[in-house]
Amino acid sequence: GSRQATRVMTITFLAWSYVSMQVCCGPQCCTLFTQDAICTLNTLQTNASALEQVRRERGNPQLQLQAMKGFLERAGLTVEELDHLNIIHVTGTKGKGSTCAFTEHILRSYGFRTGFYSSPHLVQVRERIRINGQPIRKELFTKYFWQVYGRLDETKAHGGTMPAYFRFLTILAFHVFLQEKVDLAVIEVGIGGAYDCTNIIRRPWVCGISSLGIDHTQILGDTIEKIAWQKGGIFKTGVPAFTVKQPTSPMAVLEERAKDIRCPLWVCPELEEYQVGCGPLHLGLAGQHQRSNASLALQLSHAWLQRRCLPGGISQHVTGVPPAACFKPSPIMIKGLADTEWPGRTQMLRHGTVTYFLDGAHTTRSMQACIQWFKDTAAQHERNAAGPVARVLLFNATGERDSAAMLKLLVSCHFDFAVFCPNITEAIASCNADQQNFNVSVENMLTRCLDNERSWRLHNHMGDNPSTQLLIQDSLPLVLENKSDTLVFPCILSALQWITQGRDAVLAGPVKTVIPVKPSVTAKAAPIREAAAIHVLVTGSLHLVGGVLKHIDPSSNK
């Protein structure tokens, strides 16, 4: 309402003053201005009712790209300028972010100045826009944010609107990369491909498609063939494209799309097929599923380097989808793959006797890969433990994801406890604007957690327990108490504190609010307190993983 509008106008005035002065009075001042920018950014989040309207209006999705072009021009940019970013454009259902991370690290290792745009962020929104592998600095984020926001706000006068959250960040990323004069930009698609707002790009240098699966069905379609058609929409005439091996039917769709668009398409070889004389390639990202992502990254970086060094580009074929060349990776490529880091994906953090296994898997296929990684890695650590190890699952899923199917797969990990919570970092008021989500109500988030808990009980043959009650203390639901091994907490911090039982010093520090629970709930944790070590798998949602990292990894908050 008018109060929100007044707040935005006040923030705009203060921030423009900051930008015009081009000075910062110190870290605290910089952080304050950055938080104001993020609070204003959050006003662009689409609420749930507006999201429904967007879904209903998807009958003419081409209008979305036209709207994006209009927003871009209002922000003072043109699609022609984007041609100078030497873009690598990547889509897929599973592994596109990891592929981008491998690709960016390889090319940065060659000495190129890289830009990298990805989503979602884990802890801070600045993670989405990276320069040379690092999130853009706070002062630069604030400066460029208000430049773009101001131009868009000034041009609303004649019935114009502001772009939604992801569209705005995409425009901001393009602006940052142009201003910072990167040698190349690795751009990860948001959702789909054909009508994603990143697809305003006209002339990327090379395109890639990682593993395909079922996700975002309300937007992309309910079959893998429909999804493949959307993903193939990033193909461009004459621009080389690479894909990992896909099932027969989606591969046929990609081949047809490439033929229609006249885009040369190749299939990446297995990682073992590359001509490496120093033994198997070592990857910085754990998990067998990362091998296909690494192969795709090798092809993307190789094609980009060929265009950079050989302006004629790579030779093009006429028909079919032939295998890509199994070239010999350079020492720089080999080291780039080995040194790649991508938080929240098959990541392990050890805090004394507590070991966290973090993976943002949110589809059944990605969950299968996560489970295999967890079983293999946890088993190695358990063999070296001084005694019994307690296994705990911390799970949440959002949107239209099939939670029941993922939980059914997770049963095979034989957890001692399953804990559920919404993607709310803390139950108390917080100034952490980076992780605020206005697209779903707290009531809906807690209801989803209760549904997940019920599904877990049914999969474990515990039966349903309709008599469970949310315990209330000081008007705050603190924990759902059951007579078995499942619990639902109102926020991530309360869940982590119960799981670790004071054994993680980071969570027990003086700056952390200890959220009280009933004695009966504390008593349930006796097996955890008595165990020699605790293994915690955090999965189901990248937003959940990000909320956990905010609490257990202080460096992620800098």
Q: Phi-psi region for residue 435, left (φ > 0), alpha (ψ -120 to 50) or beta? A: alpha
Continuous segment of H or E residues that includes residue 380: helix 364-383
Rounded distance between C-alpha atoms, residue 174 and residue 155, angstroms:
19
Annotated binding residue 119: yes
Q: What gap in Å lies between CA 121 and CA 41, rounded to an integer?
A: 14
Q: 447: alpha, beta or left, given left = phi > 0 and alpha = psi -120 to 50?
A: alpha
Residue with tokens 């994006």: 68
Would the annotation count 345 as a binding residue? yes
The verdict on whether omega for the bond into residue 163 sits within 30 degrees of 0, i.e. cis, is no
Letter string b/e over residues 485-501, b meaning 16 or more CB atoms within 10 A of that residue's CB: bbbbbbbbbbbbbbbbb
* Cα-based distances in Å from 144 to 11, 76, 542, 556: 15, 12, 26, 22
CB 313 within 8 A of CB 240: yes
Q: What is the four-CA torsion angle of 430, 432, 342, 112, rounded to 10 degrees?
A: -160
d(CA 271, CA 379): 25
Beta bridge partners of 120: none
Contacts of 36 (CB under 8 A, 6+ apart): 11, 14, 15
Per the annotation, does 273 bind a ligand? no
CA angle 237, 290, 416 (to 5 degrees): 140
Both tokens assigned to 423: 């993607």
3-state secondary structure of 432: coil
426 is in an annotated binding site: no
Copy the structure tokens of residue 486. Answer: 């499942």
Which of these, 392, 379, 377, 385, lies nearest to 286 by C-alpha position? 377
Ramachandran region, residue 324 (left: φ > 0; alpha: ψ -120 to 50; beta: rest): beta
Torsion angle, CA of 48/45/362/214, rounded to 10 degrees?
70
CA distance 44 to 91: 24
The secondary element (H helix, E strand) that includes residue 305 is helix 290-309
Question: Which of 316, 171, 323, 306 has the alpha carbon at shortest distance from 244?
Answer: 323
The answer on whether 448 is annotated among ligand-binding residues is no
Full strand arrangement of the beta sheet holding 241-243: 134-135, 129-131, 114-117, 184-188, 87-91, 206-209, 241-243, 265-267
Q: Are 377 and 391 in contact (CB under 8 A)?
A: no
Instruction: Show binding-site residues for Mg(2+).
Output: 119, 188, 216
Instruction: Show binding-site residues.
Output: 119, 188, 216, 345, 359
Instruction: Show binding-site residues for ATP.
Output: 345, 359
